[in-house]
Amino acid sequence: MEETVPPSSSPIASLLPDELEAPPLSLGQLTWRRFRRHKMAIFGVVTLVFMVFYAFGGMLFFSEADANHTETGARLQPPSAEHPFGTDTIGRDILARTIYGGQISIMIGLTAMLVELFIGVSIGSLAGFFGGKVDSFLMRFTEAVLVIPQIFLLLVMAKYFAQSIPNIEMLGRTFSGSVVVIIFVIGITTWPYLARIVRSSFLSMKENDFVLAARATGASTRDIILRHILPNSIAPIIVAGTLSVAAAITLEAYISFLGMGVRPPTATWGNMLEGAYNYIDTAWWLWFFPGMLIALIVLAINFIGDGLRDALDPHSRAV
């Protein structure tokens, strides 16, 4: 009978074959363990959860009508019991606006990241896998986009697409079409960074044995890329993707600050800062709260990204 009851006397005998090794941990579990040890990353997660709850859960306390309700007689009031964050230039409650603005900002960050991910991974994987002329052509194209500093490209593109999309009605709420424009513009100006990372990962992976084996068994190119190589290079993609959410939120804030971002009355944290600059000393609450929220969420995401990078691949020194 192979009962696994350890005899209590000898220490070596107590090490039964099944227990010589701890059961192997999956990548996810390993990552989580290493991540857990990163105190700042945990702080980042907590902060991020709090902020998501603030933006989306806040809907339960404030309706959108509250966020858009103008009251010109009560304009520019400092923070008070009735308006904890004060009111803006036409008497709208800033707390409610940061809640609804946060939803848009976070959504822009996530969606822009997805656009960037899609384009960047596609181009990077094709370039890295096929090499040769395909690689050369795609890399020249990538460089072309990289050579222009991002802000310049963003401004030019934001102005170019400015009026192309009408207002959107979704879930009973109206969003300015410029939200889609901004997502698109951010996505197509940030993918080169990701494409380069994916490409170098593919370049080093494609010589590996498992790829050779897959080819020998007749797997199609698409299969090799999607089911074999990509899952193994997922680590830098995850890290880059996480950090790009923060970058997208920051970029949205920049363009809005320069006046070409999401059009009011749709609120985002970025465009709440747009006009607030003129009130720097008279109405500090106009710029302080949205600015703090942006800085906080970007900080949280950066912490998480840093933690993920250490957890997924402790040896990487990605720049």
Partner 1 sequence: MKNRRLFSFLVSLVVIAAFLAACTPAAPATEEPTAEPTAERKVATFIWTQEYDTLNPLYTNMWFVTVLYPIYTCQAWWFDDQNNPVPYLVTEIPSKDNGGISEDGRIITLKLRDDIQWSDATPITSADFKFTYDMVMADGNAVSSRAPFDLTESLETPDERTVVVTFTEPFAPWLARLFAGQSGAALLPAHILQPVFDENGTIDTAEWNKAPTVGCGPFVFQEWESGSFARFVVNENYWGPRPKIDELFFRFVPDDASQVAALKAGDGDVGTFFAMSDMPELEAAGVVIMKSLSGYNEGWYINQHPEKGNPALQDVRVRQALAYGFNRQKLVDDLLLGRAAVPATDWDNTSWEDPSIEPYTYDPEKAKALLEEAGWVDSNGDGVREKDGVDLVLKYGTTNREVRQDTQAVAQQELAEVGIKLELLSFDSDIFFASYAEDGPSANFSLDIIEYSDSPDAPDPNSVVWRCAEIPSDENPAGVNPTGFCDEEFEALWAKQETQVDVAERQQTFHQITKMIFEKAFWIGLWQDPDYFGFSSRIINVKMSGATPFFNVVEWDIAQ
Partner 2 sequence: MTRYIIRRLLQAIPLLFIISLIIFIMMQNMGDPVATMGGRRVTRSEDRIRLTRQLGLDKPVIVQYLYWLVGNDWAKTDMDGDGVAETPGKRKGVLRGDFGLSLVNRKPVTQVIGERLPNTLLLMLVAEAIIISVALLVGIYSALHQYTALDNVITTSTFIFYSMPVFFFALLAMYIFAVNFKAWGLPYLPTVGMFEPEAGKSASQVAWHMILPVATLSFGFIAGYSRYIRSTMLEAMGQDYIRTAKAKGLPRPQIVYIHALKNAALPIVTLIALDLPFLLGGAIVTERIFGWPGMGRLFLDHVDRSDTPVVMGILMMIAVAVIIFQIIADVLYAWLDPRIHYK
Residues that bind partner 1 (CB under 8 A): 68-70, 72-73, 75-76, 89-92, 159, 162-163, 167, 174, 176, 259-260, 263-265, 275, 277-282
Residues near partner 2 (CB under 8 A) are 40, 140-141, 143-144, 146-152, 155-157, 159-160, 246, 250, 253-254, 257-258, 273, 277, 280-281, 284, 287, 291, 294-295, 298-299, 302-303, 306, 317, 319
Q: ∠318-239-110 over CA atoms, to 5°?
A: 140
DSSP 185-250: HHHHHHHHHHHHHHHHHHHHHTTSHHHHHHHHTT--HHHIIIIIIHHHTHHHHHHHHHHHHHHHHH
- When CB distances are held under 5 to 8 angstroms depending on the partner's kind, the choice from partner 1, partner 2, none that residue 167 binds is partner 1
- When CB distances are held under 5 to 8 angstroms depending on the partner's kind, the choice from partner 2, partner 1, none that residue 151 binds is partner 2
- The backbone region for 81, taken as left when phi is positive above 0, alpha when psi lies in -120 to 50, beta otherwise, is alpha
- When CB distances are held under 5 to 8 angstroms depending on the partner's kind, the choice from partner 1, partner 2, none that residue 131 binds is none
Rounded to the nearest whole angstrom, what is the least distance from the CB of residue 30 to partner 1 in the complex?
A: 39
Rounded to the nearest whole angstrom, what is the least distance from the CB of residue 24 to partner 1 in the complex?
A: 45
Lookup: tokens for 294 = 């942006």
What's the Cα-to-Cα distance from 35 to each of 5, 51, 95, 233, rounded to whole Å? 35, 20, 33, 19
Rounded to the nearest whole angstrom, what is the least distance from the CB of residue 12 to partner 2 in the complex?
A: 36
Rounded to the nearest whole angstrom, what is the least distance from the CB of residue 282 to partner 1 in the complex?
A: 7
Rounded to the nearest whole angstrom, what is the least distance from the CB of residue 172 to partner 1 in the complex?
A: 11
CB-wise, 198 or 298, nearer to partner 2?
298
- Centre a 10 Å sphere on the Cβ of residue 213 and count the other Cβ atoms it contains: 11
Lookup: tokens for 45 = 């997660």
- Centre a 10 Å sphere on the Cβ of residue 308 and count the other Cβ atoms it contains: 23
CB-wise, 165 or 258, nearer to partner 2?
258
